[in-house]
Amino acid sequence: MLYTENMIEINLAHVGSEFLRPPKKELIFDVTVSNLTNTAKWVLFPFKMDQLVTDEAGGIFGYEIYELGIGAPLYLGQFQGMQSFQAILLGPSAKLKLNGLRIATVDQEVKDVLMIHCVVTNEVRINKQPLIQAFRYPALIEGSVAVNFSKEKLVHAQFTDTLQDYPVELGSYRLLKITVPTHH
């Protein structure tokens, strides 16, 4: 379903599900995100269906960075904790087609329509540090690219020793509520 707000276009299509250890399941989406502005924007997708990505409560205790591209690599970060999310940094006028984005759920039945909450923001901080520092790789996605997500392409992971959550702060942001029809 195509969603446009504040010069950001997000198209999410549910393409399948994968069962993990019960009761977990991952919903799989093909995503197209376009930044129609002249400034870079973070786009945050949920890591779990039942968590909202907001700056009001919780935090993260660790993260994993996955390589998306070949040649000129692109990266997606998965940040885990009470405030879990997945992040990409989309450059000015950039467009990303990402096949296979996964969002965890414990619901065994996939509803006919899903509500996906995404956040678009100019700034994300974890424990008062800019999110881009966690990537350790060039995070900015430029131009128009198409890639596939694969959990085999983990390039970096870091977790706190105590699993203590570090606070997440967002700059000015928009919470986008996107309805996505499913195909059973």
Q: 66-115: per-residue pLDDT in tens? A: 988 665 678 899 998 888 899 999 999 999 999 999 998 887 677 788 88
Beta partners for residue 168, in sequence order:
126
C-alpha dist (Å) from residue 146 to 5, 34, 135: 22, 12, 20
**pLDDT at residue 46 in the model:** 92
Confidence of residue 175 (pLDDT cuts 50, 70, 90): confident
> What's the mean per-residue pLDDT of the chain?
85
Confidence of residue 33 (pLDDT cuts 50, 70, 90): very high
Per-residue pLDDT tens digits for 7-20? 899 999 999 888 87
CB 121, CB 8: distance < 8 Å: no
55: CB partners within 8 A, 6+ apart: 168, 169, 170, 173
Per-residue pLDDT tens digits for 128-171? 999 988 887 888 999 999 888 887 788 889 898 887 888 898 88
Furthest-apart CA atoms within the chain: distance in Å: 44
Residue 134: phi and psi, rounded to 5, are -70, -25
CB 175, CB 119: distance < 8 Å: yes
